[in-house]
Amino acid sequence: MFGIGSYVSYRSEGVCKITDIRKENFGALGKDTLYYVLTPLNDEKSTFFVPTDNEHLVSMMRKVLSADEIYELIRGVAKREYEWIDDSKRRGAHFKEILANGEREELVYLVHTVKRYIDEQTAVGKKVYVTDIGAMKRANKILFDEFSRMIPMSSPEDMTDLIEKICNEG
């Protein structure tokens, strides 16, 4: 269980502060339910209520990683086999799912895969789908919001550079 004042990464919302844990009755359930109250650091006007007894939603609340854990995560992605989905509709749906789930490893893999594809296409004078670039930018932003708290970076684009640097080391 997380405590008030803890920082967590929540789905694709980025880093959030747990500002309260309290009972609420939102009517549909007809009973008081205990909720984590999350406030995203990048949008302090927003609030998310996560029922403490909903294992699925609580599992999407992850502790913020240390710098060493971030580097290790990226190194792990570098060891994965490169797979590109040729069908743009299937690829788009896959990227949309990755972005919605906000799982760090998959987001890092998305950035690495799209960057590699862009480099391959550019080398032979071909263009890249705007939707692929958009998915990579969104993944960069999600990762940047969390990782830049532990590793100095000035923009989401720095995320791609960091991922590629670490992936190309090994």
- Predicted TM-score (pTM) of the model is 0.79
CATH 2.40.10 fits 7-63, yes or no: yes
Average pLDDT of span 68-96: 94
Q: What CA–CA distances, in Å, run from 71 to 43, 99, 142, 151?
A: 27, 20, 16, 10
- What does the domain layout of the chain look like in residue ranges? 7-63, 67-169
- Architecture of the CATH domain 67-169: Up-down Bundle (1.20)
Query: Model confidence over 21-47: pLDDT tens digits?
Result: 999 987 766 678 899 999 998 888 999
Whole-number mean pLDDT of the chain?
91
Taking the CB of residue 18, how many other CB atoms lie within 10 A of it? 19
Chain center to CA of 147: 10
* Cβ within 8 Å of residue 62, ≥6 positions away: 8, 9, 10, 104
Q: Do domains 7-63 and 67-169 have the same CATH topology?
A: no
